Structure 1
C-alpha cells in the first residue's frame, strides 16, 4: 500500500486496509459455507478494485514526479510482496496433499499447484472446463489462486499501458491539448469498457470463462484505476466542509450497502460476473471514493493545499490521507472540529479489527482454503461451524506468516534498496514452487507405475464369469491412465462450450443399416461397444452425442447455470433430433445421465418429448439404462486403495435416479422400447463396486472406462439376443 522507493510522502489508507479486511472476510465466510453469505465470493471483486486503485495511483504519482516509470522498481516491489508468501503456501500445500491424499489426487494437486506457481492457475482451470461457482474445483488446493493469477497477469501489463498513455501525452505534440491524467484515463477507460462488455456477453454462454478469464475481469481493476486517475478532483474545496462530509457519508454507506447486498443476495446460481458484478464492484468503488473525499485519519482532513516538489502545478493536490511520513500537519490546519464526520464508512473501516484483517488479508486468503480442503480430506467434516473454526485457525497461521515471514521480507532494508535483489527473491519463490510441485508430480507417477497389471488381456468371462474374486491389487486401466481411457475418437463427444463435432462421426459401410447413437456422455461411453456390435451386422452408425446435454428435452430452469441449461445445449438437441429424422434410422440407441434434476414430473415430460420425436422416425428404440453414479472420483480413490478396493464402494441409490422408461415398463407401458443394462454386473443389490477381477470400472465420478465398456459388450449382446432383437431393424 505504500511506495517505499518514492522520495515523496508515503501514504497508508486505513480505510482501504479495512476494506481489504471486509473482502477477505466475505471470501472466507463463503468458503466456510456460512449461511446467508451466499455471495461472499464478491470479496474477490473488491480486491480487484482496490488493486486497480492502488497500483494505478502509484504509477501515476511516480510519472508525475519523475516523468517516467521504473519498471524494475515496480516489479521488484510486486515480487517481494506477493511471491514469497504464495510460494510458502504452495510448498506446504504440496506436502499436505502428499501426507493426506491418495496418489492420483496428489498428482492432480501437484499439477494445479504447479499452475499456481507459474501464475496461470485461472487459465489452467479454464482448460479443464472447470466452473468455480459450480464447485468444479472445490477439491483443489489451488482453487483460490485463480484470482491471484489474474492480478499477477494484470500487474505485468498495467504499467506498460499507463506508461504508454502517459508518454504519448507528455512527450508528443498532444501535450499541448491533453494532460497526462486524461490520456491515462482514456486508455484505462477503454480497457474497462471493453472488458465489461466482454464479461456481460460471455457470461450467459460460457460462465466459467467469464468468471476466471483475465480479460473479463480487467474492468474491475480498471474501475479502481479510474478512481486513481480522477483523484485530484477529490481535493477541490467544496463550498462547505459540511457538504463534503455529507457527500462522503452518503456515497460511502451506499457503496457499503451495495457490498453487503451483493454478499447476501447473490449466490452460485446467479449468472456471474455479467451485470451482477456491477453491484459489488461499484460498491467498492464508492467506498474508496468516500475515503478519498473525507479521509479516515483524525488528523487535518481539510488541510490547506500546499505545493509539493515535483508536482504538476496545474493539478490540485489531494488532502493528506492517513499517516503521511514527510508532511505532518498540525491541528491548526483544521480549526472547525464540528465539521469532522464520525459517521463515514471510512471511520468504520479504519477501526483496528478491520485494519488488522486488512494487514493479514493476503496471508489469510492464501492459507484458509488449503486448511479447509486438507481438513475435509482428513476428517470428512464439512459443516459450516467446523469449517469456520478451521478458518479461524488459518487466521492464526496467517498472522504468524505475516509477522515472521511476509513482512520481514517486505521491509528488509537491503531488498528495499536493491531492486535486483527483490526480483531475485521473487524468481527464487517461483522456482521453488515449480520445483516442489514438479518433483511431487514425477514421484507420484513413478510410484503409480509399479501398480500395473502384467497381463491386461481381460474378457467378459475372466471378469464376470467367476466369483467376485480379487478385490485388491493393480487394475486395468491404472488409475493414472483411467481418465484417458475413453471411446475413440474423442471428438465425437462434443465438448461443453462447442456446438459441432470435430470429427466425422459416421461409421460403417455406406449402404449399411442406418443406426443412431444419441445422448450425452453416458451414451458416448457405449459408442465403441455399439460399433463393435454393428461391425457384425453391417450397420451404418451415426453418432449424436454432446457432453452434459441430456437426451431428454429438459426445459431451461431459471437461475441454473449448469451446461445442460445453456442455449448451446438446447440448440444442439433440437438440431440432433432434426438430423436423426433426416437419417431415417432403423435402430436408435439412446442413453442419458439420470441425475440431472430431482423433479420427477419435469424429467417424465422431458423424456416424453424426446421419445415422441424418436418414435416419429419409425426406428426401433433401444434404451441403455444409466450406469451407477458414484459421485466421487473413483480413479482418485482407487489410487490410494490398491490394498482394498472396498474403500471405494458406493450405493446405487446414493443419488436420486429418475428413469421414467424403466418405471413405465415395470407398469407394462412403453413396451415398444427395448431396455438393456449392466447394473446387475456392477452392483450387488444396492452396493456398487469400483472394480472387479483386475478391471477398473470408472474413469471419473460418473463414466465407465472404455476398457470396462468393451468387456461388458457381450452382456449387451446377450440381452439383445434374449429379446430376439432384429439387428436389421425390421
Structure 2
C-alpha cells in the first residue's frame, strides 16, 4: 500500500514540462482507499462476517497501479521522457519515513513486552521489512498468511508494502521501455505510445494472472505473497490508466456516461462487499477468487473517471444529481480514512500484536478498540510526521534530498533491527550449558529436577536441533526427498519409519536402535502429511489433504510394500482434525496396507502438543520454566490405535511412547534438568529424542520385542 494520492498535481514531476498538467481530483479513490484499509483492519480484529477483509490489499494494488501508471504516462506525454530520479524521490519521501518510524517503535515495543527469542525473531522480520523484502522473507519460511502462520509477527502486514515497493521500482522501467520504443523507433508509425504501454502492461498482467491461478492450488503461500503472482492486480489498475482517454467520451454523451457510471460504481461496491463477506481464509486465494475484488475495485475507479465524484470537479452534465457510488466514497469520513490509510495500515497491526502479547486478550470487540486507538496514533503520525515530509517545499524541489530522506529511513530501520538482533544473541549466549553430561539418567533419574536455568539446546539454537539429514523430512510443496534416506547395512533387516514430522523427530533414535541390531532403515516422512489417509474436507484447503500429499502417501505405501519390511515404525500428529470418525477411517485405510506387508507394526504414540513456541517462551522464563507448562488435553488428540487397544483390539500392533516422562498426568513440561524438550510448537528437539531413546528401548524390551522382526 503506498502513500496517499488525492490529486495528480501533488505528484507532478520536478523536471520542466512542455504541457501544463491539468488539476484532477480523485476524492472517490481516496474514499475507496479508506474502505480498503477499513476492511483490512476489521479482518485483523477478527470482526464477525468480515471474513474476507484481506481483499482490502487487493484494492490497494489496483489503486496504486492506476495512479502510478497514470502519473507515468502523463509525464511521458508532457515531457517525452520520465524522470526516474524524480519518481523514486517522491516514493522515497512518501513511503519510507513513515514505515521506518513504525519499524523502530515496533522493535522497541517487542523488547519491552516479549521474551528474548521472540524479540530476535521480530528483529529479523522487521529487518526484512526495512529492506522491502518482507514478502520473500516470509515465503522463505513457507509461511502461509491466510493460515495464520505469521500472525505473531510485528512485520506481517509489510508483505504487501514490500510488493508495492518492488513494483514501484520495476514498473517505471516497463512503462518507459514501452513508451520509448513506440515513440522513438519506426514503430511510432504503427502504434501510439499508449497502445504500446497497454500491450506491455497487458502482457505482464496476463502472465501474472496465469501464474497466480496455476500456483494457488499447489503453493498457496507463494501465490499469496509473491510479487509476480500479485503484479496482475497492479496491472489491472495500470490498464485503466492506459484507456483513460476513453473516459473523455463523457463530454459527448453525458447522460449515457452518468448512467453507465452509476451502474458500474454500485456494481463494484457490491462486488467488494460480497468479496469481503463471502471469501474467507479457507478460500483458495488469490487464484480466480481474487478476480472479484480486483475487478470490483476497477469498476469503482472507472466509474469515477466517467462521472467525477468530487464536488470540486466539473460535472459531465450540469444540474444532474450525482447518484454514483463515488459520491458516497467522496464523503468526508471515507476521504479522511483514505488520507490516514497508509499510517493506519502501518500502525494497527503492531498495536494488535503488542496488545495481545501483554494482555492475552483476543476477542474482536477488544481488538477493534485497539485498532481504533491505532487510528488515533495514525492520525497524529499523518498530520505531524508523514505529511510534513511529503509536503516539505525543499524536499519537493530537491530530488536528491528526498532520496536521502528515503535512504536514511531504510538505514535507520536496518540499523535498529540489526542492533536489536545482535543484542538479543549476546544476552542469550550467557545462558548456555554443556550437554556432554546429559543422559536419560541425568534427566529423568531424579524425582525433583531443576525448575530454572540454562537449557540444552539453547532456545536460540532449538529450531535447528533437528534430525540429520534434514532433507529426509520432505517439505510441503516438494514431491520427494533430495537425498537417499536409507540407512544401515545393505543386507540388514529391512525396517521402515513412516509418517509425518512427528515420525521424523524419532528418526535418529530409530537409526540408533537399528545400528545395534543390524537394521536397514528406510525412512518415509513428509512434513504436514499424516500417515493416516485423511480425506479432503468440503470447503477447507488443508495442506495435509492436498493432491501432493495424497500422491506421496500412495507412492510411499507402494514402496514400503515393495521393500517387504519386517518391522514398521509409524507415528503421526494426532491433532489434524477433530472428527473421530474421519480419523478412524483414515487410520484403518493406512493400517490395512501396512498389515498386508506382514511386518511387525510398532506405533509410537504422539508426543504432547504445546500449540505455542516453547523456545520463545523459555527464552523469557529462564528463572522459572513452569511458566511455559501446558495441558496434554489442551488440543483434541485422536489416536484410534490406543483407543482400540484399550478395548482389547489391534493387539497385533505394539505401542510405545514417552508422554509419561514429558507430563505429570495432564500437566506437561517444556524442560527438565537442563534439557529443552521442544524445538518449536510441537516437535521434540533432536537432543530430547536422543535422551529419550532408552525409554523406547526399555518398552521394546519389556514387550519381548524381536528385533529381527521374526
- Determine helix, strand or coil for the equivalent of 1:236: helix
- Determine helix, strand or coil for the equivalent of 2:496: strand
Q: Deviations over 1:411-446 (max 9, x none)?
A: 000000000000000000000000000000000000
Q: Deviations over 1:481-500 (max 9, x none)?
A: 00000001101000111011
- Determine helix, strand or coil for the equivalent of 1:589: strand
Q: How far is the alpha carbon of 1:5 from its aligned partner?
A: 13
Contact 2:97 2:386 in 1 (8 A): yes
Aligned residue number for residue 275 of structure 2: 262
Q: Which moved more, 1:413-422 or 1:6-15?
A: 6-15
Q: How far is the alpha carbon of 1:336 from its aligned partner?
A: 9.4
1:552-701 → structure 2 map (5 Å cutoff): 552-701=532-681
Contact 1:552 1:606 in 2 (8 A): yes
Quick one: distance in 1 between partners of 2:389 and 2:645? 70
Q: Deviations over 1:263-299 (max 9, x none)?
A: 0000000000000000000000000000000001235
Structure 1, gaps ≥5 residues long: 300-332
Aligned residue number for residue 54 of structure 1: 67
Quick one: distance in 1 between partners of 2:191 and 2:322? 39
Q: Deviations over 1:213-254 (max 9, x none)?
A: 000000000000000000000001465422111100000000
Q: Deviations over 1:173-231 (max 9, x none)?
A: 11011000000000000000000000000000000000000000000000000000000
Q: Deviations over 1:307-339 (max 9, x none)?
A: xxxxxxxxxxxxxxxxxxxxxxxxxx9799665
- Cα gap change, 1:512 to 1:382, in 2 (>3 Å): same
Q: How far is the alpha carbon of 1:341 from its aligned partner?
A: 3.2
- Cα gap change, 1:118 to 1:338, in 2 (>3 Å): closer
Structure 2, gaps ≥5 residues long: 1-14
Aligned residue number for residue 401 of structure 2: 421
Quick one: distance in 2 between partners of 1:511 and 1:502? 23
Q: Which moved more, 1:229-238 or 1:260-269?
A: 229-238
Quick one: distance in 2 between partners of 1:442 and 1:456? 27
Contact 1:3 1:10 in 2 (8 A): no
Q: Deviations over 1:108-148 (max 9, x none)?
A: 00000000000000000000000000000000000000000
Q: How far is the alpha carbon of 1:565 from its aligned partner?
A: 1.8
Contact 1:634 1:698 in 2 (8 A): yes
Contact 2:351 2:371 in 1 (8 A): yes
Q: How far is the alpha carbon of 1:465 from its aligned partner?
A: 0.7
RMSD between superposed Cα atoms in Å: 1.5
Aligned residue number for residue 109 of structure 1: 122
Q: Deviations over 1:75-133 (max 9, x none)?
A: 00000000000000000000000000000000000000000000000000000000000
Quick one: distance in 2 between partners of 1:532 and 1:585? 18
Contact 2:501 2:572 in 1 (8 A): yes
Contact 1:5 1:416 in 2 (8 A): no
- Cα gap change, 1:337 to 1:224, in 2 (>3 Å): closer
- Determine helix, strand or coil for the equivalent of 1:277: helix
Contact 1:24 1:361 in 2 (8 A): yes
Q: How far is the alpha carbon of 1:3 from its aligned partner?
A: 13
Contact 2:62 2:298 in 1 (8 A): yes
Quick one: distance in 1 between partners of 2:333 and 2:545? 43
Q: How far is the alpha carbon of 1:716 from its aligned partner?
A: 0.2
Q: How far is the alpha carbon of 1:556 from its aligned partner?
A: 1.4
Contact 1:94 1:113 in 2 (8 A): yes
Contact 1:207 1:561 in 2 (8 A): no
- Determine helix, strand or coil for the equivalent of 2:90: helix
- Cα gap change, 1:685 to 1:244, in 2 (>3 Å): same
Quick one: distance in 1 between partners of 2:562 and 2:473? 20
- Cα gap change, 1:280 to 1:705, in 2 (>3 Å): same
Contact 1:150 1:214 in 2 (8 A): yes
Q: Which moved more, 1:209-218 or 1:341-350?
A: 341-350
Q: How far is the alpha carbon of 1:25 from its aligned partner?
A: 0.1
Q: How far is the alpha carbon of 1:561 from its aligned partner?
A: 2.3
- Determine helix, strand or coil for the equivalent of 1:334: coil
Q: Which moved more, 1:684-693 or 1:234-243?
A: 234-243
Contact 1:476 1:696 in 2 (8 A): yes
Quick one: distance in 2 between partners of 1:234 and 1:250? 15
- Cα gap change, 1:455 to 1:557, in 2 (>3 Å): closer
For normalisation by structure 1, the TM-score amounts to 0.94
Contact 1:525 1:703 in 2 (8 A): yes
- Cα gap change, 1:31 to 1:5, in 2 (>3 Å): farther
- Cα gap change, 1:599 to 1:3, in 2 (>3 Å): farther
Q: How far is the alpha carbon of 1:340 from its aligned partner?
A: 2.2
For normalisation by structure 2, the TM-score amounts to 0.97
Contact 2:16 2:79 in 1 (8 A): no
Quick one: distance in 1 between partners of 2:19 and 2:133? 31
Contact 2:250 2:306 in 1 (8 A): no
Contact 1:513 1:539 in 2 (8 A): yes
Contact 1:291 1:346 in 2 (8 A): yes
Q: Deviations over 1:492-513 (max 9, x none)?
A: 0001110110111000000000
Q: Which moved more, 1:228-237 or 1:279-288?
A: 228-237
Aligned residue number for residue 252 of structure 1: 265
Q: How far is the alpha carbon of 1:10 from its aligned partner?
A: 3.8
Contact 1:349 1:355 in 2 (8 A): yes
Q: How far is the alpha carbon of 1:625 from its aligned partner?
A: 0.1
Contact 1:26 1:37 in 2 (8 A): yes
- Cα gap change, 1:396 to 1:6, in 2 (>3 Å): farther
Quick one: distance in 1 between partners of 2:286 and 2:673? 48
- Determine helix, strand or coil for the equivalent of 1:338: coil
Q: Which moved more, 1:238-247 or 1:644-653?
A: 238-247
- Determine helix, strand or coil for the equivalent of 2:523: strand
Q: How far is the alpha carbon of 1:686 from its aligned partner?
A: 0.1
- Determine helix, strand or coil for the equivalent of 2:289: coil
Quick one: distance in 2 between partners of 1:468 and 1:294? 77
Contact 2:307 2:316 in 1 (8 A): no
Quick one: distance in 2 between partners of 1:594 and 1:237? 63
Contact 2:250 2:316 in 1 (8 A): no
Contact 2:268 2:295 in 1 (8 A): yes
- Cα gap change, 1:540 to 1:358, in 2 (>3 Å): same
Aligned residue number for residue 476 of structure 2: 496
Contact 1:453 1:476 in 2 (8 A): yes
Contact 2:307 2:315 in 1 (8 A): no
- Cα gap change, 1:552 to 1:3, in 2 (>3 Å): farther
- Cα gap change, 1:358 to 1:638, in 2 (>3 Å): same
- Cα gap change, 1:483 to 1:129, in 2 (>3 Å): same
Contact 1:14 1:355 in 2 (8 A): yes
- Cα gap change, 1:55 to 1:716, in 2 (>3 Å): same
- Cα gap change, 1:336 to 1:494, in 2 (>3 Å): closer
Q: Deviations over 1:550-594 (max 9, x none)?
A: 000001122222320211101000000000001100000000000
Q: Which moved more, 1:553-562 or 1:693-702?
A: 553-562
- Determine helix, strand or coil for the equivalent of 1:532: helix
Contact 2:536 2:542 in 1 (8 A): no
Q: Which moved more, 1:590-599 or 1:239-248?
A: 239-248
Q: How far is the alpha carbon of 1:469 from its aligned partner?
A: 1.8
Contact 2:254 2:316 in 1 (8 A): no
Q: How far is the alpha carbon of 1:157 from its aligned partner?
A: 0.4
Quick one: distance in 2 between partners of 1:457 and 1:96? 39
- Determine helix, strand or coil for the equivalent of 1:275: helix
Q: How far is the alpha carbon of 1:4 from its aligned partner?
A: 12
- Determine helix, strand or coil for the equivalent of 1:515: strand
